[in-house]
């Protein structure tokens, strides 16, 4: 019996010792955990108290602040203790216009909203200060919100910079609108001045051309009378000079009409090949006098009659063929015409004037179609001309729904000028197929 009692007592002492050891271990763990939490709390407080932003925590049930960092006093200009005792302290510095917004957002933050927003404060001096408020919930073990944690930072400088930038943007937009309006007005004034200039040139060209016709006509009459050789030479010089002057006047008149949008095309029936032959015939004597062969190539198919402006087509051909004669010292000139497209109702004719003249540099082949431009400025002194001819031709071709271009391998290799023009089929022209568009013999054909 004594042995049983002793064994029971020993077992009891062993259990007591084990429990005491467990209690000591648990107490040590608690003390270690407490030390860790204390150290963590100290670190958190050191961090929270030394950052420029306000760090705060709120109990979502009581809606009271559990903690607020020192920056609150600097930004809000209120005591921390006042806020911890009275949550309404937060709203005392909020701008009146922003208080409703702040109350609404704060309620959403307490409900778990993680958004952010900006609002204004008023300091003791009444100056406006901007802050950005961010918050997020901290959930407990059972999924409920234990507390809401947030950070508020002052963003006054950024907002002021944004406002300055916005004002600058608005001022710049106003300035751009003003400059745009001024530019539009200046453009309208320039266009009006240009139109007035074109009107003046057109009127003056008419006024000058009328007496020039009188001079040329009287010169022709004088040349038909009995004159001495010397008198004939003088009058012939007058006639040639008058013709040259009249051509310049006509170019200026056409160019001014183009600028004033007053150039229109006629619509009459004509035979394209007749216009080509007339144009070549007008310049044949000059070409032969320089020893230049000139011929027309009708090997391509083309309609017999079309409807369009034969006078303007003749003007283009005379200008291009005349240029070839002017800039070709020796060799030949070939003029060709062929239909690019032909239907029952309309057709597009392609004309080409090929010469063995002085050629055109590659980098000048587009510029020569601009007003007052030539392939080489020295050509004006050597060959004469105003530099308007090709520009006028280009505009006329455009009015005929065509295009113009030149091909040349460079100086001394000759040039080929091309242009296309669209015409309606003449009412007397039958339906034309490729076989029916047969070439017609020409006295200038090679």
Distance CA 25, CA 90 (A): 46
pLDDT digits (tens, 9 = 90+) for 354-398: 999 999 888 887 888 887 555 554 444 445 556 688 888 999 999
- Which of 151-155, 236-240, 269-273 shows the lowest mean pLDDT across its residues? 236-240
Q: Does the structure show a pLDDT above 50 at 106? A: yes
Interval 270-286 mean pLDDT:
91
Q: What is the DSSP string of 333-362?
A: EEEEEEEEEE-SSEEEEEEEEEE-SS---G
Angle at 316 (CA atoms; ends 313, 321), nearest 5 degrees: 120
Same domain, 402 and 281: yes
Same domain, 272 and 405: yes
pLDDT digits (tens, 9 = 90+) for 197-213: 777 766 776 677 778 88
Closest CA to 238 of 258, 202, 208, 214: 214
Amino acid 256: pLDDT: 74
Same domain, 316 and 414: yes
Amino acid 419: pLDDT: 95
pLDDT digits (tens, 9 = 90+) for 308-326: 999 999 999 999 999 999 9
Instruction: Please check whether residue 79 lies inside any domain of the structure.
Output: yes
Distance CA 290, CA 286 (A): 7
Asked whether the beta carbons of 355 and 415 are under 8 A apart, the reply is yes
Domain with residue 319: its CATH number is 3.30.565.10
Same domain, 288 and 411: yes
pLDDT digits (tens, 9 = 90+) for 142-201: 888 999 999 988 888 888 898 889 999 999 999 999 999 999 999 888 888 877 777 776
Amino acid 269: pLDDT: 94
Amino acid 274: pLDDT: 92
Same domain, 116 and 242: no
| Of 364 and 4, the one with more pLDDT | 364
Amino acid 439: pLDDT: 40
The helices-and-strands tally (H runs, E runs) of the chain is 10, 12
Give kind and range of the element (H or E) at residue 156: helix 156-223
Which ranges constitute the DSSP H helices of 51-98? Answer: 71-76, 80-85
Instruction: Please check whether residue 366 lies inside any domain of the structure.
Output: yes
Cβ atoms within 10 Å of 204's Cβ, excluding its own: 14
Instruction: Please check whether residue 163 lies inside any domain of the structure.
Output: no
Distance CA 82, CA 77 (A): 11
Amino acid 317: pLDDT: 94
Q: What is the DSSP string of 403-432?
A: -EEEE--STTS-EEEEEEEEEEEPTTSPP-
Q: Does the structure show a pLDDT above 50 at 35? A: yes
> Which of 126, 154, 182 is the last residue in one of the domains?
154
Q: Does the structure show a pLDDT above 50 at 433? A: no
Interval 242-255 mean pLDDT:
79
Same domain, 282 and 403: yes
SS3 445: strand
Kindly state the percentage of the chain with pLDDT values over 90.
Answer: 29
Q: Does the structure show a pLDDT above 50 at 78? A: yes
Domain with residue 253: its CATH number is 1.10.287.130
Same domain, 228 and 296: no
Instruction: Please check whether residue 161 lies inside any domain of the structure.
Output: no
| Of 377 and 18, the one with more pLDDT | 18
Distance CA 19, CA 144 (A): 36
Closest CA to 379 of 318, 317, 320, 323: 323
Instruction: Please check whether residue 297 lies inside any domain of the structure.
Output: yes
Closest CA to 134 of 64, 80, 193, 53: 53
> Which of 90, 124, 154 is the last residue in one of the domains?
154
Instruction: Please check whether residue 444 lies inside any domain of the structure.
Output: no
Domain count, the chain: 4
Distance CA 175, CA 180 (A): 8
Q: Which runs of E-coded beta strand occur in 194-300?
A: 268-270, 292-297
Amino acid 432: pLDDT: 45
Instruction: Please check whether residue 431 lies inside any domain of the structure.
Output: no
Q: Could you tell me the residue range of the domain that residue 311 belongs to? A: 264-425
Same domain, 369 and 330: yes
Distances (CA, A) of 268 to 258, 316, 427: 21, 17, 10
Instruction: Please check whether residue 436 lies inside any domain of the structure.
Output: no
Amino acid 436: pLDDT: 42
Amino acid 441: pLDDT: 42
Same domain, 60 and 44: no
Domain with residue 138: its CATH number is 3.30.450.20
> Which of 102, 122, 154 is the last residue in one of the domains?
154
Same domain, 197 and 246: yes
Amino acid 196: pLDDT: 77
Q: Does the structure show a pLDDT above 50 at 25? A: yes
Same domain, 366 and 235: no
How long a stretch of residues is the chain?
446
Average pLDDT of every residue of the chain: 81
Distances (CA, A) of 29 to 8, 23, 94: 31, 10, 47
Non-local CB neighbours of 370 within 8 Å, separated by 6+ positions:
391
Same domain, 383 and 279: yes
């Amino acid at each position: 019996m004594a042995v049983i009692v002793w064994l029971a007592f020993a077992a009891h002492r062993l259990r007591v010792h084990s429990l005491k050891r467990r209690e000591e271990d648990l107490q040590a763990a608690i003390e270690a955990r407490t030390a860790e939490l204390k150290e963590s709390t100290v670190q958190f407080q050191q961090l929270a108290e030394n950052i420029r932003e306000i760090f705060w925590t709120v109990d979502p049930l009581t809606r009271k602040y559990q903690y607020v960092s020192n920056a609150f006093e600097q930004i809000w200009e209120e005591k921390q203790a006042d806020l911890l005792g009275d949550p309404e302290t937060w709203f005392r510095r909020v701008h009146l216009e922003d208080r409703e917004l702040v109350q609404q957002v704060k309620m959403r933050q307490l409900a778990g909203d993680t958004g952010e927003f900006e609002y204004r404060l008023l300091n003791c001096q009444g100056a406006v200060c901007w802050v950005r408020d961010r918050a997020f919930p901290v959930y407990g073990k059972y999924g409920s919100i234990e507390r809401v944690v947030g950070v508020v930072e002052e963003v006054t400088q950024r907002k002021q910079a944004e406002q300055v930038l916005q004002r600058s943007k608005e001022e710049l937009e106003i300035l751009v609108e003003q400059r745009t309006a001024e530019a539009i007005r200046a453009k309208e004034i320039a266009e009006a001045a240009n139109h007035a200039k074109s009107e003046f040139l057109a009127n003056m060209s008419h006024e000058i051309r009328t007496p020039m016709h009188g001079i040329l006509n009287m010169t022709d009459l004088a040349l038909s009378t009995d004159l001495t050789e010397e008198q004939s030479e003088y009058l012939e010089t007058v006639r040639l000079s008058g013709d040259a002057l009249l051509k310049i006047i006509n170019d200026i008149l056409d160019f001014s009409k183009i600028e004033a949008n007053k150039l229109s095309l006629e619509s009459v029936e004509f035979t394209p090949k007749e216009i080509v032959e007339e144009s070549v015939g007008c310049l044949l004597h000059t070409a032969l006098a320089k020893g230049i062969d000139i011929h027309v190539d009708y090997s391509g198919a083309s309609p017999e009659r079309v409807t369009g402006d034969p006078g303007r087509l003749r003007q283009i051909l005379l200008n291009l063929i005349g240029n070839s004669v002017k800039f070709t010292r020796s060799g030949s000139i070939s003029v060709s015409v062929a239909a690019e497209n032909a239907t029952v109702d309309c057709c597009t004719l392609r004309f080409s004037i090929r010469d063995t003249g002085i050629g055109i540099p590659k980098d000048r082949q587009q510029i020569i179609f601009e007003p007052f431009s030539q392939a080489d400025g020295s050509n004006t002194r050597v060959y004469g001309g105003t530099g308007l001819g090709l520009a006028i031709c280009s505009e006329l071709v455009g009015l005929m729904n065509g295009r113009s271009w030149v091909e040349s391998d460079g100086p001394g290799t000759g040039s080929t000028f091309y242009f296309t023009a669209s015409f309606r089929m003449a009412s007397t022209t039958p339906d034309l197929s490729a076989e029916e568009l047969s070439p017609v013999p020409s006295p200038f054909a090679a």
